[in-house]
Chains A and B, each alone.
Chain A
Amino acid sequence: MTETGTETGTGAEGKHSTAAAAGGRGGPAIRRVLVVLDASTDTYEALEAATTLAARLEAEVMGLFIEDVNLLRLAALPFAREIGLGSHSRRLAPEEMERRLRARARAARTRLAAQARQARIQWSFEVRRGEWRETLETSTLEADLLVLGEFTGAVVPPAGPRTGHVLSHCLGRCRCTLFAGRRLHRLQSPMVLMADDTAAAWHALELALRLQGAEGRADGRPLPVLLPAGHPELEEAVRRLLQARGLHARFHRLQDLRPATITRAAEAAGGDILIAGAAQTLAERRELEDLLEDIHCSLMLVSEDT
């Protein structure tokens, strides 16, 4: 059963979303930034990242609070017990679980509203009940950029990275740009661009330039760019594009595009946010999970369709 409810508000009266204008500059059109929230407070970091991104991109932030149906099923089982972090065991009941989920949703909404008001951006908040995969697939249809933080769903996966399974699931099904990582770095953190000759990669480059903003150009530091070795024409094209925007590039040429190679190069380049086109080889689900396991930086995978 899926229940939905939508509330909207604005933190900036008279201030319009100009994502379309951004798109007009040739970059990906990002009007709606979706952030996934659940009963865990771990997702609050993603909320902050989402509002910051939305503010920079002049987009609307949409909060999606997923009431995982597994929790409600659990609470309805006759032997269900919850063991707290202090290893205290307590009986679970469906009514209590409902109440606790509502309370968590309220808290997340309040937080979103406060941050959006501070960032002077439009915001909306929606609570959906259901299995997280289905819920996410439905919801991301409306979003241009999905921010995934520590969202994992209620069922702890038996192995592998905590969040990687969510990202790889989304990557296969969502058409939007993804911002994910075990830590979501702030936009002021240094960025590294992964360039290849795909449309998604050029979109990634455009998005990186927009996210860097005026201050990125003002500090005069070159933008680290990873690219496959032996593509001088690609290098030249990237250089020209950056020069046209008043930026310089520092190229790191990769012998292969395996996740481990990209990871090491990104860290060596001193980047906290790796921006890449979603169509690249690292989009392979298994490799991506490995990458997220290894890498300390945040990952922005820009959709070709954005």
Chain B
Amino acid sequence: MSEHFERPPSAIPAGSGGDPFAGEDGGLPDPLPPEQLYRRCDPARFDFETTAELEDLQGVVGQERALEALHFGVGIRREGYNLFVLGPPGIGKYTVVRQYLEDRAGKAPVPDDWCYVYNFSEPSRPRALRLPAGRGRALREDMARLVEDLKTAIPAAFETEEYQARVREIEEEFKERRERAFHELAREAEEQGIALIRTPGGFAFAPQRDGQVIKPEEYERLSAEEKKHIEEVVNRLQEKLEAILLRIPHWQREARERLRALDHEVGLFAAGNLIEELKKKYASLEAVTTYLEQVQEDIISNLGDFRSREGVSQVLGMPLAETPSYRRYEVNVLVDHGDQQGAPVIYEDSPLYQNLVGRVEYQAQMGALVTDFTLIKPGALHRANGGYLILEAHKVLMQPYAWEGLKQVLRSQELRIQSLGKLYSLVSTVSLEPEPIPVDMKVVLLGDRLLYYLLMAYDAEFAELFKVAADFEEEVVRTPENDRLYARLLATMARRESLLPLDRHAVARVLEHAARLAEDAEKLTTHLLDLADLLREADYWARQRRRDCIGREDVQQAIDAQIHRLDRIRQRAYENIRRRVVLIDTNGERVGQINGLSVVQLGNFAFGQPTRITANTRLGEGEVIDIEREVELGGAIHSKGVLILSSFLASRYATNLPLSLSASLVFEQSYGLVEGDSASVAELCALLSSLARVPIRQYLAVTGSINQHGQVQAIGGVNEKIEGFFDVCRERGLDGRHGVLIPQSNVIHLMLRQDVVEAVREGRFHVYPIAHIDQAIERLTGLPAGKPDAQGRFPEGSVNRRVADRLAELSHIRQEFAKAAHEHEESHD
């Protein structure tokens, strides 16, 4: 929790260079009348009883600039003209953008389908096929049917008598050829008394008699010449046998080739017709027909896959993939626009890198991870190709590599699926490298302004890739016309969410609340999320009361309940003040002590509370010590405010004198960070009170920042601040003196609670506008501030005179000190 002495919600003219004492001329402004504290919306101005009578609002209220940018960004078909839609969360950016894009996309042509198919020449690089919308799915089904047909057509073709007979012919021919060679050799051997013998491992020759190999002892009895002759003959025959055996592989190869040619012929007969039909069907798509030709070649080369029995093979009891696998003939329809009307509008809620650019998934098989082209999964960019992709900028930036991935796609105008591990060389295993797909789309980033400006400043590519900014207004001017549009917006929201209609009093109250949310009586917030929540909760209370439409009191109850659910910390803070744990005086007068006002922001709930600011002054060398700053509890803006008031003090009261002051300022009992300059008026008043020794009225509180000329400037959270002091005072009892001083320029921001307005109406509480520090001093002290004469002297008895005199006194004392010190030094010399 930190306290903020806020700057104004919007730039307020500084007024520097104007009359520094303008406030004195006009005297003290009167306290504001109740009408200026709350700008009511008069239900009588509406010409409807309930929002049920109103038509839906097709567009949005007050976002003409953003819509023009959208129109331009979407319309221009040039590289880099993607959009960044700026605005705070909950303002309705997504709803507006989505609605606009869907309207536009509905009239656009449906983009093509994209499929990945097997690359028969390079399996690790799946091919991308582009088909007209809906034909990707058809191709997938056609290919599945083709495979099923082939599973029966090919085995049937190979089971025909004709095929079997031709196979037999080839086999017999080979067998015959081989046997004939052996028989001829056997005959030649026989003529020379030698037998050709089949052995377990081949062939051999041996001398024979009556068809039987002679016994070894018989051989031994032969003469040496006979033996020699036999051996010579056997050697010769062996050479011939070797020659035959060398020819056998050649014959085998020849037979195999003939069988293969036969298979090719039969396979072509079985598959050719089926594939030809598909080729005719896809004749207009050259890429598909080329693919089908490759399919045909592959099928013919792998006929065994279709001839063998299907089944699931197992290793160690674990099932492997289907064997044989027909997966390579599948078609992975990555993007199917078969049911799409117009161009796609895709919102990716989780823009992880792989959710954007797609990924290649893996399957576990026997402890190993395997993949193929059927496991390529699309990303949002695939789905949005040819249309629009909406992304939340901060989500993209938070996901590792998502931003770089998105930019890479927009830069290269093609979508390449790469695993991060491989991209950054974390893993070097062989994986798929799917063929890149060309992209043509608009990317719309939604984000807050800070993000946009940071990206502009720090990412050189951002400006090139997101050339169109659509800046959403956070508020619209409160005009009768806009009030009417707002009422239609409420009617639309209620209808879309199936809520009860709002009666016109409820509409008026919602509009008043919208002005309060905008922190401006003259504007309405465009923060649709908050309004939608308010409507839902008001609907709940209306239904609790069994009403058929939402009334003003339902809206009020919803607002009160929202506050009540969140104001535990506020109650604790007020309780501490009530029990005087936190010291805040709301009565009497004190020198050098003032009630400043701070705003505590807790999530989307803010409340104001008084803070005691005290000042001490003494002789010194012109420094004003900001104690918050010294202990590093003060922010830079706060320090700036203190320095400005120091400058104002010196220039106004000690123009010709050395500022011989040492002052210290502190936020009493503040233990958190103090930021903002909205307490600088209060700080200056406390300082002047201390210098002038004039007490300040503690039943008043003050807020506002100050410039070097003493002009009071607007601050933020004015409503919460006033209500905060009002709540504290009311607990102690309002006596008609209590009130708050606010910058005149903040009067237009007032949308105070009804109880505050009523107290003002009854004269029990006051809101004082101030434009100059002198007005604040007079209101806080009850003494005239004092206007300088021609010589620059303030009138006697005025606060300013007292301040000037005190500063002169301090200067004189300092000079005396300096003189004495000088004399002392000289006497020593």
Give chain A's interface residues, CB within 8 Å of chain B. Answer: 39-40, 69-71, 73-74, 76-87, 89-90, 92, 97, 100-101, 104, 131, 152, 154-160, 162, 270, 296
Closest-by-CB residue of B relative to A84 is B202
A190–B105 Cα distance when bound, in Å, is: 69
Of the candidates A83, A152, A159, A162, the one whose C-beta lies within 8 Å of that of B238 is A83
A76–B196 Cα distance when bound, in Å, is: 16
Q: Which residues of B contact A296 (CB under 8 A)?
A: 168, 172
B204: CB under 8 A from chain A?
yes
Known: A71-B199, A73-B213, A76-B216. Contact between A82 and B186, CB under 8 A? Answer: no
A70 near B197 with CB under 8 A, answer yes
A160–B179 Cα distance when bound, in Å, is: 10
B242 near A83 with CB under 8 A, answer yes
A83 near B204 with CB under 8 A, answer yes
Known: A85-B245, A155-B212, A158-B190. Contact between A70 and B238, CB under 8 A? Answer: no
A70 near B213 with CB under 8 A, answer yes
B406: CB under 8 A from chain A?
no
Whole-angstrom distance between the Cβ of A177 and the nearest chain B Cβ? 26
Interface size class of B (residues with CB under 8 A): 35 or more
Q: Which 5 A-B pairs have the closest CB atoms?
A: A158-B187, A76-B216, A84-B202, A73-B213, A87-B245
B183 near A92 with CB under 8 A, answer no
- Would you give the 0/1 interface string for B161-175, flagging 1 where the beta carbon is closer than 8 Å to chain A? 100000010001000
A73 near B202 with CB under 8 A, answer no
Q: Which residues of B contact A84 (CB under 8 A)?
A: 201-202, 245
Cβ contacts A to B, 21 pairs, < 8 Å: A39-B199, A71-B197, A71-B199, A71-B200, A73-B213, A78-B219, A79-B231, A80-B206, A81-B238, A82-B202, A83-B245, A85-B202, A85-B248, A87-B242, A152-B198, A156-B186, A156-B195, A157-B183, A158-B186, A158-B187, A162-B179
Known: A81-B238, A156-B183, A157-B183. Contact between A73 and B215, CB under 8 A? Answer: yes
A155–B194 Cα distance when bound, in Å, is: 10
A79 near B234 with CB under 8 A, answer yes
Q: Which residues of A contact B230 (CB under 8 A)?
A: 79
B202 near A83 with CB under 8 A, answer yes
A155 near B187 with CB under 8 A, answer no
Q: Which residues of B contact A77 (CB under 8 A)?
A: 206-207, 213, 216, 219
Give chain B's interface residues, CB within 8 Å of chain A. Answer: 161, 168, 172, 179, 182-183, 186-187, 189-190, 195-204, 206-208, 211-216, 219, 230-231, 234, 238, 241-242, 245-246, 248
Known: A74-B213, A82-B204. Contact between A154 and B248, CB under 8 A? Answer: no
Of the candidates A40, A76, A79, A89, the one whose C-beta lies within 8 Å of that of B242 is A89
Main secondary structure of the interface of A (DSSP, over half): loop
A69–B202 Cα distance when bound, in Å, is: 16
Q: Which residues of A contact B187 (CB under 8 A)?
A: 158-159
Q: Which residues of A contact B196 (CB under 8 A)?
A: 155-156
B200 near A101 with CB under 8 A, answer yes
Whole-angstrom distance between the Cβ of B358 and the nearest chain A Cβ? 53
Whole-angstrom distance between the Cβ of B158 and the nearest chain A Cβ? 17
A155 near B197 with CB under 8 A, answer yes
Whole-angstrom distance between the Cβ of B234 and the nearest chain A Cβ? 6
Q: Which residues of B contact A86 (CB under 8 A)?
A: 245
A156–B412 Cα distance when bound, in Å, is: 75
A86–B202 Cα distance when bound, in Å, is: 9
A115–B354 Cα distance when bound, in Å, is: 57
Known: A85-B245, A86-B245, A160-B183. Contact between A74 and B199, CB under 8 A? Answer: yes
Of the candidates B200, B208, B219, the one whose C-beta lies within 8 Å of that of A100 is B200
Whole-angstrom distance between the Cβ of B699 and the nearest chain A Cβ? 111
Q: Which residues of B contact A104 (CB under 8 A)?
A: 200
Q: Which residues of B contact A80 (CB under 8 A)?
A: 204, 206
Q: Which residues of A contact B213 (CB under 8 A)?
A: 69-70, 73-74, 77, 155
Known: A39-B200, A155-B208, A158-B187. Contact between A73 and B234, CB under 8 A? Answer: no
Whole-angstrom distance between the Cβ of A215 and the nearest chain B Cβ? 19
A40–B199 Cα distance when bound, in Å, is: 8
Known: A76-B216, A77-B216, A131-B212. Contact between A82 and B203, CB under 8 A? Answer: yes
Whole-angstrom distance between the Cβ of A184 and the nearest chain B Cβ? 14
Closest-by-CB residue of A relative to B180 is A159
A86–B363 Cα distance when bound, in Å, is: 44
Q: Which residues of A contact B215 (CB under 8 A)?
A: 73
Q: Which residues of A contact B208 (CB under 8 A)?
A: 155
Instruction: Give the interface centre of A77, A81, A152, A159 by most chain B CB atoms within 10 Å.
Output: A77
Q: Which residues of B contact A73 (CB under 8 A)?
A: 206, 212-216
Whole-angstrom distance between the Cβ of A293 and the nearest chain B Cβ? 9
A257–B219 Cα distance when bound, in Å, is: 48
Closest-by-CB residue of B relative to A160 is B183
Closest-by-CB residue of A relative to B169 is A296
B186 near A87 with CB under 8 A, answer no
Q: Which residues of A contact B202 (CB under 8 A)?
A: 82-85
Q: Which residues of A contact B216 (CB under 8 A)?
A: 73, 76-77
Whole-angstrom distance between the Cβ of B398 and the nearest chain A Cβ? 66
Whole-angstrom distance between the Cβ of A140 and the nearest chain B Cβ? 20
A25–B607 Cα distance when bound, in Å, is: 112
Closest-by-CB residue of A relative to B185 is A156
A154 near B197 with CB under 8 A, answer yes
